[in-house]
Every structure is written in structure tokens, then in C-alpha cells.
Amino acid sequence: MTIATAEALPDLNPHSGLSQVWTERYTGALMNTFGPPKRVFVRGEGAQLWDADGNRYLDLFAGIAVNALGHAHPLVVQAVTAQLTTLGHVGNFFATAPQIALAERLIGLVGARDARVYFCNSGTEANEAAFKISRLTGRTRIVATEGGFHGRTMGALALTGKSALRAPFEPLPGEVTFVPFGDTAALEAAIDEETAAFIVEPIQGERGVEPAPPGYLTAARRITERHGALLILDEVQTGIARTGTWFRYQAEAREHGGWQPDVISLAKGLGGGLPIGASIALGRAAELFTPGSHGTTFGGNPVACAAGLAVLYGIERDDLLGNVQTIGARLHDGILALDNPALAGVRGAGLLLAVELREAVAPALAEAALNAGFIVNPVTPQAIRLAPPLILTAAQADEFLAVLPRLLDQLTPGSD
């Protein structure tokens, strides 16, 4: 059996100038939703990527916090290959072992006996499922957070707290009230007996890696519980070990009596690069969907679920929770220790970090980093997001720490 790789496609052989050709073809063939691509990549291995011109990069963004085990990890390659060569798809009138095993595994990681999983294909779909579950409570009002991001489909967009993203597509499903993120008193005032659900990210990723203040999620649990509203935690970005615990809320919940949310949304890191999302519901929320309530053709696909199982296995086998904590701290402390005047601080947890800059030079810094062979993300004009593969080594973290001062020195503040 041969597996098609980049090398097997003659057009993609590393060759100077090919990136330019591919970029022109991209522009002619793909809708302009993302702007021109910054690079065309042909191969990845671990935390490294190679572009069509043969240049090597250290990947500190992992395809937007997706490639948990890095690129072409043998566990994922083997799991996907074995599954696809055995059984690739059957649809949801039937069941397969990988989807059942993955659901059981996720329930075990959440640590709740009364949880159930709904599989889909993306983060936005995981939140759509949560949105629909909330409607089945018999209530229709939702509280969401300013600056929050929950996806681009109409339902998830309605919950997204950035009016510039919502405005062109209104009217969106109601009835959504936005509260300032991290403000317990505002939450207290917004939630009442008519609230179906409160949805929140433990760390607002797209907003610029803004962690919820300590105690906020616990207060949200207490307030929603008191009013019979669901607590939906969007862990699409923070889940699957990214911050050093399996799910971000667990770091706080364990210190406050081990509370649980009602719904957890997952995607990004779960499939190690394969598209998969999941909504995990607990208790009564797990019983609200009944046959016909919701569905998907691809959700729970055995190949995607086999990849998910491989990712969870790899995280456990190689103690990546420990690695995330160690390497996350090394990056966090290492950046602060640079004591560079252009730096204002570091936010985040584990391997989801934002390097805060004194000036709005993040796009220029990301560009300079890319040209020097480092992939980072200008998540806001004034912050660079790092979300590398969870397998990042100390030596790779140090490579970035060594180059960062030089990159910062190249920038003229305010030039962007």
C-alpha cells in the first residue's frame, strides 16, 4: 500500500519560486475569506514545517492550536491508516468501535458518570449543538461574554461577543445578552429564571488569550445552578491538555469542590489535525437530545475518532500534560526574563500564551518571525499568540527565546 505524500506529487517538490505560483493559483480558485496565504506548506514533522520553496519553520501555532501531537505523529498516522484501510465511514444509522471508545474516553477525562457525547466536525458545530441543547430546556435566553468567540455558523456567531463579526449577518438567532468577561456582578445581574444558558471560554483565545479571573468560572457555576440555567464551557481552544490539564476548567474546579459544567465544547486539538468536534453534556443536559433533535452525516466518523483516540493515548503515554506545564513555564518565564523594553508581559496558561507588546506591532513581529522561520500568530494588534504542538521540546522553546530579542529589535515601534 502506498500513502500519497507531498513528495509523491511532482508539482509540490521543494523548488524555489513554487510558493509564488501556488499563491497565484490559490487566489484564482479559493474564495477570499482568509486573505492571501502567507506561505504554502508541503510537509510537516513534529513541530517543524517546510514550505513549497524548501524553507524550514518551527511551528509555534500548530494550525490554530490543532496539531496537539505535532505533524505526522506516528500514533496518528498509524491509527488513521489502520482505520481507513479497515472501515472509513458508515454514517450515523450505524455505530463503530472508535466513536464509542472515544466517547467513553472523553467521559472518563471529564470524570462524570452521567455524561454523554455528541460528535460533530468542528468547534462551531460543537457550540451549535450546545445552543440547541439549551433551547430544549424550554427557555430561550442566553448570556454570553463580550469579546468571546464561539464560531462562524449563524448560531455560534450569535453567541460571539464581537459585533464586527456579527453585524453583516444579522438578524441572528436570539435572544443573546452580552456581559463583560470576568465580571461576576454583571453575571449575577444578567442571569435569572428565564436564562437557558451561559456560555463562556475559560480563556478567551481569539480575544487575545485572556484568562478568566480566578473564581469567575466557579461563580458562574454557582449562579447558573441557582437559576436553573446551563453552564456551557467552550473549551474548543483550551481543551485537550493545551493548558496543562485535560480541560481548563478542571484546574479551578478541583480547588472548589470539583464542580462540573453542563456542557463542554471541544474541537481543535481533539483530532490531532483531523476535523472533529464534540459536545459533552452532563446530567440532565445529556438527556435533552432525543432521536431527531440533531444530527450530522460525518460526526463520529471512525477515522476522525481513531485519530482522537491516538491523540489522547499519546498525551497520556508521553506525559504531555507534564510537558505542557514544563515547556509552557519555560516559555512564559523565558520571555519575561528577556526583560526587553518592547515587551509588556505574558498571558495565558500552559502552551496557550500571548506575548503582550508595548506597541501595536504584532503583525510586523509575526511577519519578521515567519521570515526567520518561526510561525506565531498576531492575535491582536498588540499581542502574539503561541499555541505550539504539545510535544514542543525545551530546545525548540529555547530557539524561539533566542530569536525573539533580535526580532523585536528589528521592529520600529509604530511602523505597522
Ligand X SMILES: *Cc1c(COP(=O)(O)O)cnc(C)c1O
Q: Is 164 helix (H, G, I), strand (E, B) or coil?
A: helix
CB of 291 to ligand X, least distance (A): 25
- CB contact set of 270 (below 8 Å; sequence gap of 6+): 68, 239, 240, 276, 277, 278, 308, 311
Tell me if 406 is assigned to a ligand binding site: no
The residue among 47 and 379 lying less far from ligand X, judged by its C-beta, is: 379
With contact defined as beta carbons under 8 Å apart, do 115 and 280 qualify? yes
The residue among 236 and 304 lying less far from ligand X, judged by its C-beta, is: 236
* Interacting residues with ligand X (CB under 6 A): 122-124, 127, 149-151, 201, 205-206, 234, 236-237, 267-268
The cell numbers describing 195, all together, are 436564562
The residue among 151 and 334 lying less far from ligand X, judged by its C-beta, is: 151
The cell numbers describing 374, all together, are 518561526
Beta bridge partners of residue 120, listed in sequence order: 277
The residue among 49 and 144 lying less far from ligand X, judged by its C-beta, is: 144
The C-alpha atoms of residue 24 and residue 18 are separated, in whole angstroms, by 10
The residue among 71 and 242 lying less far from ligand X, judged by its C-beta, is: 242
The C-alpha atoms of residue 243 and residue 240 are separated, in whole angstroms, by 8
Query: Cell match 447558573: residue?
Result: 224
Tell me if 183 is assigned to a ligand binding site: no
Tell me if 5 is assigned to a ligand binding site: no
CB of 244 to ligand X, least distance (A): 17
Q: Is 345 helix (H, G, I), strand (E, B) or coil?
A: strand
Query: Cell match 526583560: residue?
Result: 339
With contact defined as beta carbons under 8 Å apart, do 127 and 121 qualify? no
Helices (H), 97-183: 97-110, 123-135, 154-159, 163-166
Tell me if 152 is assigned to a ligand binding site: yes
Tell me if 287 is assigned to a ligand binding site: no
Helices (H), 30-96: 62-65, 74-84
The residue among 33 and 290 lying less far from ligand X, judged by its C-beta, is: 33
Tell me if 149 is assigned to a ligand binding site: yes
CB of 151 to ligand X, least distance (A): 4
Tell me if 204 is assigned to a ligand binding site: no
Tell me if 284 is assigned to a ligand binding site: no
CB of 345 to ligand X, least distance (A): 22
CB of 223 to ligand X, least distance (A): 21
What length is written for the chain? 416
CB of 265 to ligand X, least distance (A): 7
The CA–CA distances, whole Å, from 378 to 182, 375, 404 equal 23, 10, 14
Closest residue to ligand X: CB criterion: 123
Beta bridge partners of residue 49, listed in sequence order: 44, 57
The residue among 103 and 387 lying less far from ligand X, judged by its C-beta, is: 387
CB of 24 to ligand X, least distance (A): 26
Binding residues: 123-124, 149, 152, 234-237, 296-297
Binding residues for N(2)-acetyl-L-ornithine: 152, 296
Binding residues for pyridoxal 5'-phosphate: 123-124, 149, 234-237, 297
